[in-house]
Amino acid sequence: MSDFREVNIAELRHLVSERALSGETMLLNMGPQHPSTHGVLRLLLELDGEIIINCIPDIGYLHTGIEKNVEAKPYAQSEVMVDRLDYLNPLGNNLVYCLAVEKLCELDVPLRAQVIRVILAELTRINSHLVWMGTSALDLAAMSTFLYTMRERENILDIFEMCAGQRMMTTFIRPGGLWRDVPVEFEAAVREFIKILPKRIDEYESLLTNNPLFLDRTKGIGLISAEDCTRWAIGGPIARASGVKYDLRKARPYSGYEQYQFDLPTRTEGDIFARYIVRVEEMRQSIKIIQQAIDLLPLGPTRSNNRKFVPPPRSELGTSMEALIHHFKLWTEGYAPPKGAVYAAIESPRGELGVYMESDGSPKPYRCHFRTPSFTNLQIMPLLTHAHFVADVVGIIGSIDIVLGDTDR
Amino acid sequence: MLESLKPAVIALQNEFGAEVVEFRDEVSLIIQPEKNIEALQALRDRFGFNFLIDVTAVDYWPQETPRFHVLYHVLALDTNALLRLRVPLNGNGPSLRTCEGVWPSANWYEREIFDMFGIRFDGHSDMRRIIMPFEWEGHPLRKDYPLGYEEVEFTFNFEEINQRKLHPKI
């Protein structure tokens, strides 16, 4: 391990001001090893004293080449890597991947599977927002919130473990339905969880919402307007905190979201505090959706009966020759969708998560591109941090809610 | 095709000679590379496509020419109409005009395409690699770029493999 290359200022000359070149302002690296960058993010800050003049994000430290790997694996195997994209939203990643494959193959999804998908996707959203709330409050020196939010997150992970046998990288949602039906305890566990959560959210709010120290660090900081959100392609809670009333669950519904009643919490301030309020309110709306979905939960199959794409149930293998052939074909060769390209998107906890998937008629995806919300959202760092203090950068990164696995893919 | 998409599609067909491809209710328009900015500008200013969802590329080496397609996904927030523009690009080191002037959010997407496919964007404000390390050679998402693997080390070939590594041990 010998070669360390010094970064030449000439490479960044077009990004920094003249004052930096003459040595009047200071260039300072924040990260990649920094506890409040939520992973490995490097920010090159140009500072005038303690005021930020420019902020240049540098990403790629967590690049795992998922898009390249997906091209070399059959559709069924590729899905496993998709969990690792946004590790706080693994089921959402599965869902969007499956929606793309289903669109490509024109697969049907049974009603029960759709409802369970919605429940799991909303639990994942709550999970992600809980982690966000804990960590971003921790960055602003509110230690105890983290401990409480992790306690509730544990319950969600227990539910995932109950369904899939895995706590985070579940790969539970499969093209054409689910891996298997949920266990009988699932319904009771979800009902129990959504019964206690509203009180717990009130508890977190009592720690933060009226806390003067928290308000000082969040109000009026990291402002972005609604027009800028649209220009910079920002979606999700950041845009809704700036007054853009747009949510894919309402605008372009998938998995039957059109049948659930819920509100879109919006604010118009566009600062860190507005994003905090929007996310807290979103958790309450998610509970509302889960409540409706669990009341609705119909009985029936959880995967499509289209045997050309979806493996037959294990029980049929001993008695049916066709089932055995399908099983063998699907697990050795895989399935080949028709030639074409589709784009599928869902509302992830961070914004629009999309997949562009192209098939050339072979059992492996020809191209699979993930349009990840963290990648887009991180782009506005220079806009948000301009003329703020160094200490505010920490709060702003927290409020964008980045997941570096999602950014770097 | 969605009703809300029709005026935009017809206008682009007439003015820019766009070719329409429909698959699974999604509309793709094939636009020649000389007209990419004008087409995007027209979509934004005249047809309300105010949101650039995504810019990406596909490599069709070796079976097709033109080799690359650059894809733009644009969305109209008011009508939820989604449109895909495909721009075919010939050659191994092609370039295209940047659409940073139309949507600033294209900045990082175009950097990513440059990094992964080696397609240059003329007039881009910051044409550096974004995801791969800056001294990296090659463009990983091209089809002629091998996936790569780690050689399995045993005691009998440890030294030999070690010597081939970028940073040999000892």
Q: What is the pLDDT of residue A2?
A: 45
Mean pLDDT of A355-363: 91
Q: Which of A266, A356, A357 to mutate to test the interface with B (most CBs of B within 10 A)?
A: A356
In order, the DSSP letters of B84-151 are EEEEEE-SSS-EEE--TTT-TTHHHHHHHHHHHH--EEET-S----SSS-TT--S-TTSTTS----PP
Cα B128 to the center of its chain, rounded Å: 15
**Any A CB within 8 A of B103 CB:** yes
Secondary structure element (H or E) that encloses residue A213, with its range: helix A212-218
Interchain CB distance below 8 Å, B133 and A358: no
SS (H, E, C) A24-91: CCEEEEECCCCHHHCCCCEEEEEEECCEEEEEEEECCCCCCCHHHHHCCCCHHHHHHHHCCCCCCCHH
Interchain CB distance below 8 Å, B23 and A233: no
Tokens for B91, please give them.
């050659």
Residue A125: what are its φ and ψ, rounded to 5°?
Answer: -65, -45
Q: What is the pLDDT of residue A189?
A: 92
The per-residue pLDDT string of chain B (170 residues; one tens digit each, 9 = 90 and over) reads 777 788 888 888 888 877 888 888 888 989 888 888 888 888 888 888 888 999 999 998 888 888 899 999 999 888 888 889 999 988 888 888 998 888 998 999 999 999 999 899 988 888 888 888 887 888 888 888 888 777 788 888 888 888 877 677 76
**Any A CB within 8 A of B42 CB:** no
Residues A310-326: pLDDT tens digits? Answer: 888 888 888 999 999 99
Tokens for A1, please give them.
């391990």
Burial A345-355 (b: 16+ CB within 10 A, else e): bbbbbbbbbbb
What domains, with CATH codes, occur in chain B? 3-136 (3.30.460.80)
CA distance A385 to B123: 26
CA distance B123 to A40: 30
A233, A330 Cβ separation under 8 angstroms: no
Burial A163-200 (b: 16+ CB within 10 A, else e): bbeeeebbbbbbbbbbeebbeeebeebbeebbeebeeb
**Any A CB within 8 A of B125 CB:** yes
Number of A–B residue contacts, CB under 8 Å: 92
Task: Enter the DSSP assignment of B155.
Answer: T
Q: What is the pLDDT of residue A291?
A: 92
Q: What is the pLDDT of residue A125?
A: 92
Q: What is the ipTM of this complex?
A: 0.85
A209-213, A386-390, B3-7, range with the lowest pLDDT: B3-7
Residues A58-114: pLDDT tens digits? Answer: 888 888 889 988 988 899 888 898 888 888 888 999 999 999 999 998 888 999 999
Percent share of chain A, pLDDT over 70? 98
Return the CATH number of the domain spanning residue range A66-305+334-408: 1.10.645.10
* Positions of E strands within A95-204: 173-174, 177-178
Q: Name every chain B residue with its beta carbon within 8 A of the beta carbon of A103.
A: 24
Percent share of chain A, pLDDT over 90? 33
Torsion angle, alpha carbons of A287, A288, A294, A298, to 10? -140
Mean pLDDT of A134-157: 88
**Contacts with A146 (C-beta within 8 Å, 6 or more apart), sequence order:** A134, A135, A137, A138
Tokens for B121, please give them.
């964007």
Residues A125-140: pLDDT tens digits? Answer: 999 999 999 888 888 8
Cα A154 to the center of its chain, rounded Å: 18
Nearest neighbour of A358 by CB, restricted to B58, B126, B133: B58
In order, the DSSP letters of B82-93 are EEEEEEEE-SSS
A276, A129 Cβ separation under 8 angstroms: no
Query: Between β-strands A367-371 and B51-59, what pairing exists: parallel, antiparallel or unpaired?
Result: unpaired
Q: What is the pLDDT of residue A1?
A: 40
A368, A67 Cβ separation under 8 angstroms: yes
| R_g over Cα of chain B | 20
Q: What is the pLDDT of residue B170?
A: 65
Instruction: Report whether pLDDT(A38) > 80.
Output: no
Q: What is the pLDDT of residue A9?
A: 66
- Residue B155: how many CB atoms within 10 A of its CB? 6
Q: What mean pLDDT value characterizes chain A?
A: 88
CA distance A235 to B73: 15
Q: What is the pLDDT of residue A8?
A: 64
Q: What are the helix and strand counts (H, E) for chain B?
A: 4, 7
B133, A3 Cβ separation under 8 angstroms: no
Closest-CA distance, A351 to chain B, in angstroms, reads 11
Instruction: Report whether pLDDT(A118) > 90.
Output: yes
**Contacts with A103 (C-beta within 8 Å, 6 or more apart), sequence order:** A342, A344, B24
Interchain CB distance below 8 Å, A68 and B141: yes
Closest-CA distance, A1 to chain B, in angstroms, reads 6
A130 phi-psi bin (left φ>0, alpha ψ -120 to 50, beta other):
alpha
Can you give the residue ranges of every domain in chain A?
66-305+334-408
B82, B107 Cβ separation under 8 angstroms: no
| Chain A interface with B: residues with Cβ < 8 Å | 1-3, 5, 11, 14-15, 59-60, 63, 65, 67-69, 72, 103-104, 106, 230-234, 244, 246, 251-252, 340-343, 345, 352, 354, 356, 358, 366-367, 369, 371, 375-376, 379, 408-409
Interchain CB distance below 8 Å, A231 and B126: no
